[in-house]
Structure 1
Amino acid sequence: MMTLSFALLLRPGGYSSGSWRDPSSRIEEATDLRLYVEIAQRAEAAGIDALFMADALALGRDRGDHLAQPLEPVTLLSALAAVTSHIGLIGTISTTYTEPYNVARQLASLDHLSRGRAGWNVVTTADETASRNFGHDSHAAHALRYARADEYQQAVKRLWSSWSADAIDVDRAAGTQTREGAIRPIDFHAEHISIAGALNVPRPPQGWPLLAHAGQSPDGLAVAARHAELIFSVQQDVHTAAAFAADVRARLVAQGRRADGIRILPGLIPVVGSTESEARRLESELREWGADADTATELSWVLGFDVRTADPDRVVEDSELVPPSAINGPQSWYAQVHGYLAAQPRTVGEIRAKFASTGRSGHLRLVGSAEQVADALTEWHDRRAADGFVIQAPVFPRDAETFYDEVLPILERRGIWDPAYRSTTLRENLGLPAVDADAVFEGATA
């Protein structure tokens, strides 16, 4: 069984509402490259496999969140490529509000500049407010966004493959730089995407950058089975997570792909103290900064009424909610609440207590000593519930550094984490098979 992989979410505002108010937060440096260089180099020294950068295409309504993540991913990751040598660089880009040719150029360039460490977190954008920033009157329907995302990735793979691996052949005497016939137009024409090609950037070192997905809706998983090599998942329970992982691998096999062709990394919010008591104190401080209020806001959106003023003894049944598939926004979080109620009716008080520690993300939150957190991660590894985790530090970067210093050494001693990089490319460091770029260009299954 493979060792665990870890990625670090780059979010200077921290991954707990209001945690930027902690005195150790460095939120004032949220647009300062020097902060990110320090964080990237520290993560690389610790043996973290990748930096993972989310993105938003609209300014949030909350003034207390405007600097949570204020930089565009590819720009920042390109700068970090120059000051690191092994750590992966995964950036989020929407397929709904970008064009494939530009994105193919950006990510191929990042893969070249980093010598094979680029990754793309493929999203369709759940936030409906983004549509007006890109000249649209309304947000495209969920199924339509994923249909476009499927075609988009097919087209981008072919663009990356439009240069053969040996296309570059500089001949000064002949006055040529590439081999004749080694660059091919892709002539990709589908319902949502139409591109002549070829790309004007040579084939990336990895064949193409690693493709990560975060959607867990039926539409999202169907597209992930065809394209994803990493899933940034939302899971809270080890048994449910193990079933999810098995389902994802079965979906890959059904698409003609290898079951080991994907790494599943749930989000992890670690609150680690020198003792369990200290960890509980840190968790209490985070709630005082505003985590409970943020969770209440999100639960109110899911349930359709204000949970802050509702009777805590009011019983809520899943029949009061529309199915997650009917949601045009973030279905993964909605499905977490819906699933909790589908098991049995719950009171408002029970619902608030259940999700008080997870916040609006629904990601796994572990509160305890380093040994206790390591025990939980070991169970997830042993039950094949996760191939690793995306670290989402509540107070950034303090809690990430605590995780490196206190938890990772325990996992290393247990033989389920290895700080040594296997290679210089992201895909190889994650233990993923190489891609056959030529087969994809010809239309074969990836």
Structure 2
Amino acid sequence: MAKRQLHLGAILEGVGADHHSWLDPDLPGDASIDINWYIEHARLAEAAKFDLVFIVDSPYITPDTAPHFLNRLEPLTLLSAVAASTSRIGLVGTLTTSYWEPYNVARQFGSLDHISRGRAGWNVVTTGLEGAALNYGRDAHFEHGVRYARAREFVEVVQGLWDSYEDDAFPRDRASGVFLDKSKQHRLDHKGAHFSVAGPLALGRSRQGQPVIFQAGDSSEGRALGAAIAEGTFAASQDFESGRAYYADLKAQAAALGRNPDHIVVMPGLVPTIAETDEEARAIADAAQGALSVEKLLTQVGRLFNYHDFSKYDLDAPFPDLSGVTLNSYKGGAERVIRVAAEEKLTLRQAAYRFGQWTSPFVGSPETIANEIERWFVGRAADGFNLRVTRPRDFALFREKVVPILQERGLFRRDYAHDTLRGHLGLPVPEHRHVQPPVAIAAE
């Protein structure tokens, strides 16, 4: 068996998905809409041999939304430009199954896969914020369970469309005048609970067969969807034990469905604080924590509850009873806030600091950060990490100080061995549903 290898992704977040990164004087104020910023950082990640860059997205904002989300480029357009400016690094973008159509998504991601020569990945989301419905001609958001049922069928349709042509469907024989072998073009003719799609898609498979499917849900429905469809997950684990629990649960569910659990790459988010010494890093982290606005942290917590207004509660009273508040938004995250706040008897102020930002156990010197990454990897709390990239200094320190340690330990590659995203992640090329795999003949 091939040696298990750590995977690294870079979430390119421009001016930041928090409310304070944009204040960094070294970060351009228009980074989230500057394609050159994305290209530059994708190239830096590629030079450091990262597996992929990752673009998050959401179809709804409010005036209180974090700066990066207020004014940013659309993922597929952005990644197509990055594809032309890079050669190896994977390109993963977010598109919702709640407010798109399978044929469009199959065509767009299939096109990105061809443009990049097999480096595309689709992060499947169901959209948490209820306000998105009003941007797509609906009076109300899909109910949580319906969103996930719809998502599963959506992905099945998209993957079916990606198999519209067998790999040798186009002989392009000038002598005979045959461009297409019609027997190798396949209609889908899907009729399901949520979609009716005839096909075929006007696009063949790429060098990696199909784009890689990512998923990020943490509710029970989200984990079930991930176990069924995901080849990579953007896990929300914020400590080692919760990471191990998520990892074991997801892979056990996948195995119960008959899937190979090693064919799901679990990659939690990573927000390290790095300095020359552990003491200096801790001081930086503490200072950053102390400078945070509790009002903006409450806005971030409120986002999990469809931007519920927490400003009307007493900050130093127990976390409020939200039994009457809808959880038809980011259900897994909201349920975790309610559960932990009750178990630990948190005040609203304490909950704001705990859940209004991405808290990270990765604080210390480059050696300490590498040790913790190795602990999560060896301890099966992660197969890799998605580094959140916004402040230039933090990204440089990780690439220049932490990555070489991981390479010296044999955990992370020194150079690419493959040129597709599936190759980087150690994932197989999906079998074509219309082609029977060859039958092995036993030797006599």
Q: Same fold (TM over 0.5)?
A: yes
Contact 1:235-1:364 within 8 A present in 2 as well = no
The alpha-carbon deviation at position 297 of structure 1 amounts to 2.6
Query: Does 2:398 align with 1:396?
Result: no
| CA spacing shift, 1:308–1:352, aligned 2, 3 Å | farther
Residue in structure 1 matched with residue 440 of structure 2 by the alignment: none
Contact 2:189-2:199 within 8 A present in 1 as well = yes
| CA spacing shift, 1:291–1:16, aligned 2, 3 Å | farther
Contact 2:166-2:435 within 8 A present in 1 as well = no
For 1:200-247, what per-residue CA distance to the aligned partner results, in whole angstroms no more than 9, with x for missing partners?
011222221000000111111122111100010101121221121111
The alpha-carbon deviation at position 287 of structure 1 amounts to 4.2
Query: Does 2:53 align with 1:58?
Result: no
SS at match of 1:421: coil
For 1:368-416, what per-residue CA distance to the aligned partner results, in whole angstroms no more than 9, with x for missing partners?
22222222111111211000111013x4333222211111112222222
Greater share of strand residues, 1 or 2?
1
Give the letter for the 2:367 counterpart: E
Query: Does 2:373 align with 1:377?
Result: yes
1:73-88 matches, cutoff 5 A: 73-88=75-90
1:132-143 matches, cutoff 5 A: 132-143=134-145
User: Could you tell me how far apart the structure 2 residues matched to 1:286 and 1:29 are?
Assistant: 22
Residue in structure 1 matched with residue 40 of structure 2 by the alignment: 38
Residue in structure 1 matched with residue 339 of structure 2 by the alignment: 339
The alpha-carbon deviation at position 31 of structure 1 amounts to 2.1
| CA spacing shift, 1:33–1:299, aligned 2, 3 Å | closer
* Contiguous gaps of at least 5 residues in structure 2: 438-444
Contact 1:234-1:332 within 8 A present in 2 as well = no
User: Could you tell me how far apart the structure 1 residues matched to 2:304 and 2:110 are?
Assistant: 39
| CA spacing shift, 1:429–1:129, aligned 2, 3 Å | same
| CA spacing shift, 1:68–1:367, aligned 2, 3 Å | farther
Contact 2:64-2:299 within 8 A present in 1 as well = no
Give the letter for the 2:369 counterpart: V
More divergent stretch after superposition (255-264 vs 59-68): 59-68
Residue in structure 1 matched with residue 418 of structure 2 by the alignment: 423
Residue in structure 1 matched with residue 50 of structure 2 by the alignment: 48
SS at match of 1:149: helix
Contact 2:275-2:364 within 8 A present in 1 as well = yes
Contact 1:19-1:286 within 8 A present in 2 as well = no
User: Could you tell me how far apart the structure 1 residues matched to 2:287 and 2:27 are?
Assistant: 13
1:230-309 matches, cutoff 5 A: 230-284=232-286, 286-287=288-289, 290=292, 292-299=294-301, 306=310
Per the normalisation by structure 1, the TM-score is: 0.90
User: Could you tell me how far apart the structure 1 residues matched to 2:276 and 2:78 are?
Assistant: 34
The alpha-carbon deviation at position 280 of structure 1 amounts to 3.6
Contact 1:164-1:183 within 8 A present in 2 as well = yes
SS at match of 1:83: coil
The alpha-carbon deviation at position 106 of structure 1 amounts to 0.6
More divergent stretch after superposition (60-69 vs 159-168): 60-69
User: Could you tell me how far apart the structure 2 residues matched to 1:242 and 1:409 are?
Assistant: 25
* Contiguous gaps of at least 5 residues in structure 1: none
Give the letter for the 1:197 counterpart: G
1:194-213 matches, cutoff 5 A: 194-213=196-215
Give the letter for the 2:430 counterpart: V
- Alignment coverage as a number of residue pairs: 433
For 1:416-443, what per-residue CA distance to the aligned partner results, in whole angstroms no more than 9, with x for missing partners?
222322211101111122211326999x
Contact 1:15-1:269 within 8 A present in 2 as well = no
For 1:315-342, what per-residue CA distance to the aligned partner results, in whole angstroms no more than 9, with x for missing partners?
448xx34499x61111232133233235
1:310-321 matches, cutoff 5 A: 310=314, 312=316, 314-316=317-319, 320-321=321-322
